[in-house]
Structure 1
Amino acid sequence: MGSATSCFNSTLYRKTMTRFWPLWALYGVIWAFLIPLNLLNQFFWLQERYQGELDLQSMLTSAALDIPYLLTMGVALSLVFGALAAMASFGYLYNNRSAAMMHALPLRREALFTTQYLAGLSCLLLPHLAVALVTAAAELAFLPMECWGEALAALAVWLLVQSGTALFFFSFAAFCAMFTGHILALPAFYVILNFLVMVISTLLAELMNRFFYGFPGRGWVGGRLVEWCTPVYLLSQACNWNVVQTGESGVAVTREWGLASPSTVAIYAVAGLVFALLALLVYRHRHVESAGDVVSIPLVRPIFKYGVSFCAGLCFGTFTSTFLGWQADAVFLTACVLFWTVAGYFTAEMLLKKSFRVLNAWKGCAAVAAAMALLCAACVYDLFGVESRIPDAGQVASINLSADMGYPMDISGFHLSQITEPGQIQQVLDLHQAIINERDRNGADNYSIYGDDYIFFYVTYTLKDGSTLSREYSSVPIFLDELDKEGSVTQLADQLIQNRGLISMVYNFASFEEQGRLVEAYLTDVRMLPNSLSPEGEDRSTLYLDGAAGEDLEGLWEAVKADFADGSIGVRYLFSDEERLRNTYRTDLRFQWELPLEEQPGRGGQYAPAAESSPVGQTYSSSLSITLTPNASRTLEWLRTFSGLGSQYELVLHDEETAVGSVSTGDTSVAPPYQEAVLAD
């Protein structure tokens, strides 16, 4: 008669579930309050408030469809309770007596692992199932029959996705549990490994930012790979429950509810099964005597030791140099990194040996310190050409540019996306190259103190092979006497902001016209002329243009566009010098637009943040500011005709002592004739 090998023990399973019932009970209670009880509360409240049958039916269905919105919160709950379930299921591994007792049972290791693994997973999946059944009963009781399919489908999405995330996080926690013999080390390793790649990538980016001129310090290096290795981040993005609105010309006519990335959740669920299998393989070779050790697998101990040393050097080294204010000094930064690398190495050695007598491990410490020193030296001398790397124009598919350069200040920076015209791409590349060429004069810390003005330049190149390259330069000095110096940063920056094609992209009039409705216009910083109520006049008033009879705001908008096409509006000046002050008014003409919430028109205006999803037809306000100039003849003529400009109000140049049509104090020359011709009443 053949013998059977059991991989599961029902008695041990029931004992584990009974012993740790508070864990799965608490998890179930949390979800019970979040879904069925909350849903019932909404059902009762809606029935009291809405009397119309159609309105009530719509609101009840909407409440049921909102359940998957909790999936983002569910990722955090899975992260926490996955670790707690693993600590409960495999807690016997961290005590010598418990480990010896459990492994003395007449069970193979495969059966012991499988039983405990399923018990821990049941602490998460069974509450999901119970909550889903109760919620389904509530929906069937309160919702009309024609809405059952849609509501139950949304509930099924929640059940499957939440169970998938719980499977991954618990399996990953079980995998981490196999590598340690200490109960407190498990959650520490679990949290660290969940964020390790992103943290190391961020620390490397910060270190490179300190060493390499122009390397951006924000974000992390590694791109999509780093995101995939940070499951909390990517799952939170994937579990967004969105409303996809479709229709012609941006007008929503249908709404389809859907998960942001179901495939991502499925991939992580499969990864959870892989981690469970790997945990079993490690468990089969784990020594019972390792209970109490910080790292229980001998092969992993060197990885732990050198990993702690490396991360300590990067993290605390950069923090120390920043705290002491010497982050720009490469020698001091290197010294801080090496000091904390050594400290991290001996700290890890103490944890592994459970002793303070670790100085005899100096050889390994010297090796890791030497490796870190070589890394810092490679950064100091830029052995890989990071600082000087600029793509060829033929390699660039598009450019995103964010720059703070030039006046007037009617636009909040020089923000451009998807620059694809070859000539414009070459201009950006030339300016970038000039900034690198003048690096020594600009200063290694990017904070020069001797320029006539300064520019900020942040560029991201999207290359034709799909990769990206980003660089950021702040406080780059520019000089008035270099405006005509060929190839200088000042000259190339001035050429860039004079490019009318780029200026058109910055103001982006077309995006407002295509999707928006003009609702208001007003002038800022106008001067009220003397009258009976104010004999001396009044400065810095706001003049609204949307209430007077006979006003045609569309006509004003067309006048502005015509002046912009002529180059008399939207003129940029690299310096706030006399030329700029005498050729631009203090006054900005501001248009207020009403746009659909899902639209994101061009730069140059100020935007309210768009929600992830919104009801059909919801709008938001956006404004576009344009600084007026004396040469904007069509715009000024409209204002003189409809706003009382010249009879009740006047515009003032940035030279505040020179009003329209007046004589400058200390200057006997009358203002240019075109001012008087346009604005004189």
Structure 2
Amino acid sequence: MTSKVSFFNPGIQKQNFKQFGWIGIVILIGWIFIVPMRMIRITDDWYGPEDVTTMTQISNGTELPVIVGGSILTGMFLFRYLQVPDAADMMHSLPVRRESLFFNQVLTGLVLIMAPLLITAGAAQVIAGMYPEFNELTPQTIWSWAGAFLIMSVFFFLFTVFVGMAVGMSIATGIITMILLILPAGMYTLINGTIAFYLYGAPSSNISAMEAIVPFSPLLFVSNIVENQQTAWQLAGYAAAAVLFGAAALVLYKLRPIETASEAITFRVLRPIFKYGVTFCAMLTFSVFYSQNDNTGWIIFGYVFGSAAGYFIAEMILKKTWRVFRGRALIGYGGYAVVIIIAGAMLHYDVFGYESTIPDSDSVQSVYVGEFISHPADYQNLYSTSDAYLDDVQQLHQAIIDHRPEEEQGASKQSVSIAYELENGKTIIRQYFYIDTDGFSEKLQDVKEYDAYNAIP
């Protein structure tokens, strides 16, 4: 009984709903327009599909701003008092423990984001029972859709709360939350583009690898839910992640100094991570942008300008002044530059042997050769298990490595893509775009004589 009284505070709940109840109303209005209103419109003969079998046919993907935006804003507003010095002092002067404050704010937030979705799902079931256009739309379909988005809404909310514990400004909380949600897919794209520039034969795009990233990228994953491509295990993973972020947020809340309100990053130990994280992301973004014309000079400019801009802007945010071009800041940037130069040299000289790697014949299950390959699964029926074909492909691959023709567009150029499917289930892909084949034309011709190559449409 003592635990219930200490954690649930009716006074705080009443004040929260008076102050933030409008958030739930806005979210509910959004859901009403996205689902019930669209269902009614579908009943008109001139609008929508004849038979509706999924909720996606109704919402058409328009629920994403409500799920993501509504959850993030809820987390920002409910814990905004932590980022305003006077409000932080006032709230923490109450005879209420921090755990109780945290619990009550989170409880209010969960009600604000979950109740509108549950009301919407109930309304959808009622409307579905009233019109024949929705005979195929079962209650299980409706509530499965609602359950999936409930999990993701809670995840986005608690993740925002977690970020907010480490950030001292409300706007920064929203911005950093969005950056972190985009980060897995964004970093993959940027790093992949950088590696493809440095390492000869590295694929510039691999849809299969990108699809493997999707479950770990919340914004891409929630888009998959719209397309009904999620699995129960993936949703369970996000439910567990939501609980973990909530628990981590509570730990940070108990450790957070009250006086750090209005600081960009509230914990000193996280400030270097923020600073160098911004620097690294800015550097990759500018380098990929300037790599479009394959000019080394411009790419180096992108590295230097992007890293410098990211580093010193992050420094200004942390120090709250533009006077950062001095002393320790310059030394810090110099240290970062040295590390990046060493990493770049390691890529340039291929110290790990990536460019020269050709898998042993005994470890290869099947092989594919063609001009392009972006999604290995789509080419599965074009892989060959012929030992003779594999041997000729490996000889062709070795010839390309030995001659190392430049990649540049031209009428006489040809692209060569090679994919080895290994016994351990992994796939090794190498792509050489628009290369001169004069140095290995005979070996390429040997490969082209096989039925496996000619089967490519």
TM-score normalized by the length of structure 1: 0.61
| CA distance in structure 2 between the aligned counterparts of 1:464 and 1:72, rounded to whole angstroms | 40
Please give the per-residue CA displacement for 1:214-273, whole angstroms capped at 9, x wherever unaligned: 2122258976763333112133224523xxxxxxxxxxxxxxxxx642221222122112
Higher relative contact order (CA 8 A, sep 6+): 2
The 1:154/1:336 distance shift into structure 2, 3 A limit, reads: closer
Matched, 1:352 2:352: no
The answer to whether residue 109 in structure 2 is matched with residue 153 in structure 1 is no
Structure-2 residue corresponding to 1:489: 440
The superposition leaves residues 390-426 of structure 1 with CA deviations (integer Å, 9 ceiling, x where unpaired) of 212222223343317xxxxxxxxx9973232222222
1:469 and 2:428 are equivalent in the alignment = yes
Q: Give the gaps of 5 or more residues in structure 1.
A: 50-57, 242-258, 405-413, 480-487, 507-603, 605-681
List alignment gaps of at least 5 residues for structure 2. 373-378
Point out the structure with the larger helix share: 2
Counterparts of 1:88 and 1:500 in 2: how far apart (Å)? 64
* Paired AA for residue 206 in structure 1: G
- For the 8 Å contact 2:31–2:63, the answer to whether it is kept is no
> CA–CA distance in 2 between the matches of 1:319 and 1:133?
47
Aligned to 2:29: 29
Gap change, CA 1:67 and 1:295, over 3 Å in 2: same
Q: Does 1:230 align with 2:213?
A: no
Deviation at 1:281, TM superposition (A): 0.8
SS at structure 2 position matched to 1:100: helix
Q: Does 1:366 align with 2:334?
A: yes
Q: Distance in 1 between matches of 2:392 and 2:421?
A: 16
- SS, match of residue 390 in structure 1: coil
What is the aligned partner in structure 1 of residue 354 from structure 2?
Answer: 386
Aligned equivalent of 1:455: 414
Q: In structure 1, how many angstroms separate the alpha carbons of the residues matched to 2:6 and 2:321? A: 42
1:437 aligns with 402
Larger Rg computed on CA atoms: 1
CA contact (8 A) 1:210 1:328 kept: no
Give CA deviations for 1:304-338 in whole Å, capped at 9, x if unaligned: 11111222222223434x36x4x453x76446424
SS in 2 for 1:469: strand
Instruction: Establish whether residue 169 from structure 1 lines up as the match of residue 137 from structure 2.
Output: no
C-alpha deviation, 1:117, in angstroms: 1.2
Tell me which moved more, 465-474 or 180-189: 465-474
| Structural mapping, 1:649-664, within 5 Å | none
CA shift for structure 1 position 370: 0.8
Tell me the equivalent position of 1:67: 55
Q: CA 1:33–1:333 in structure 2 vs 1: closer, same or farther (change >3 Å)?
A: closer
State the secondary structure of the residue aligned to 1:382.
Answer: coil
1:420 to 362, 373, 385: 385
Percent sequence identity over matched residues?
Answer: 26
Letter in 2 for 1:447: E
Matched residue, 1:291 = 261
Kindly tell me: are residues 236 and 426 of structure 1, through their superposed partners in 2, closer, same or farther at Cα, counting changes over 3 Å? farther
Matched, 1:110 2:99: yes
Separation of aligned partners in 2, 1:11 and 1:354: 37
- TM-score normalised over the length of structure 2: 0.89
Whole-Å Cα distance in 1 between the matches of residues 380 and 446 of structure 2? Answer: 16
Q: What is the aligned partner in structure 2 of residue 96 from structure 1? A: 85
- Within 2, Cα distance between the matches of 1:448 and 1:143? 57
Structure 1 residue 181: Cα displacement = 0.7
How far is the alpha carbon of 1:4 from its aligned partner?
6.8
Secondary structure of the 1:178 match is: helix
Return closer, same or farther for 1:377/1:312 CA change in 2, 3 Å cut-off: same
CA positional deviation for 1:475? 1.6
1:339/1:33 CA distance change after superposition, 3 Å? closer
1-structure distance, mates of 2:70, 2:22? 12
Give the secondary-structure state (helix, strand or coil) at the position aligned to 1:460. Answer: strand
Structure that is richer in strand per residue: 1
